[in-house]
Amino acid sequence: MQELINIIDKFKEARILVAGDLMLDEYLMGSVERISPEAPIPILDVKEISRRPGGAANTAYNIQSLGGQAILTGVVGNDENGNTLKNLLAEKGIDVQGILADSSRRTTLKTRAVARGQHIVRIDLEDKKFISQEIEAGLLQFIESQIPNIKAVIISDYLKGVVTPNLSRKIIELAKNSNVISLVDGKADDFSKYKGCGIVIPNKKEFARALNMAPEQLSSEGRFLQAGKMLLAHVASNNVLVKCGEQGMTLFKKDGNFFRHPAVNMSPVDVSGAGDTAIAAFALALTSGADLEQAVTLASYACGVEVGKIGTAVVSPQELWENLKAKNK
């Protein structure tokens, strides 16, 4: 365990670039005491409104919160929500010079109504069209300028139009040529846009969809392990890490072996943003001297902390240390 704690202490030396879909997460927190007379729906009496970074912005925030140095690039609209998101990120010490404003699109806003810890509804305001070639070129120019100064790059693809196939492939190529670790948190149906990345980290649903399979087809151990090898070959990545919720995480290695870590928190409060925490912790660990299995272990423990909180949340080094110590007494 001491070795893992030493790795966490080195997080502060890691400088990681996150590129992808930026979002603003809004939470309307309150209570429901009655049903509307206008329709059979609950009335939320809002007591608190909070706004937090979401999507790729949440991944960057997790890196920063865990002690690393995050650089963020992506696109927001030329609107109030975009300004709010950039201000939130700047307040948290995240480098936002790579965030471009595009007046032809809206900043993605996800509003969640929550009553006593339970989500009632989520409302999405967004544009999903691909960014223009001009905006793409601006992002690539920024990424090229940062590659010499980073240890890893994370592509956070929520299918909101920023991670075009060309942008994804160029980032992976730049990383490979600069000996920088490339990690992908991708939701695309066609994982060929992530071909050649260092590691791709889907959840179980995304994992199945990438292979044109239904999740229930992966219910048997044999089919699941076979699917891991198939995705490795399809993406031509060095590794595949599948997030399986309460079943933990499974790492498929290029040499044909696999490593599984059980879920740390079996009673999650809210899984929103857990994937962002997982890839942030995993990338920080890898760039801080951890081997693959140690990185999976630390990512699992970080997720165990995050899912114990309501809403999109982040984890501190101290929380990660304490979770490690509590579970390894």
Catalytic site positions: 276
260 contact partners, CB below 8 Å, separation of at least 6:
248, 249, 250, 251
* Residue at token pair 């920023």: 162
Rounded to whole angstroms, how far apart are CA atoms 35 and 82? 34
User: Residues 268, 227: contact at Cβ < 8 Å?
Assistant: no
HSE, side-chain direction, 13 A CA sphere, residue 131: 31
2-9 and 292-306 helices cross at what angle (nearest 10)? 80
278 φ, ψ to 5°? -60, -50
Instruction: Give 109's strand partners.
Output: 24, 125
| CB within 8 Å of 184: residues ≥ 6 apart | 154, 155, 157, 168, 172, 194, 197, 199, 200, 201, 237
Residue 325 tokens read as: 């110590």
Side-chain-facing half-sphere of 245: CA atoms under 13 Å: 12
Give the number of C-alpha atoms closer than 13 A to the C-alpha of residue 118, restricted to the C-beta side: 7
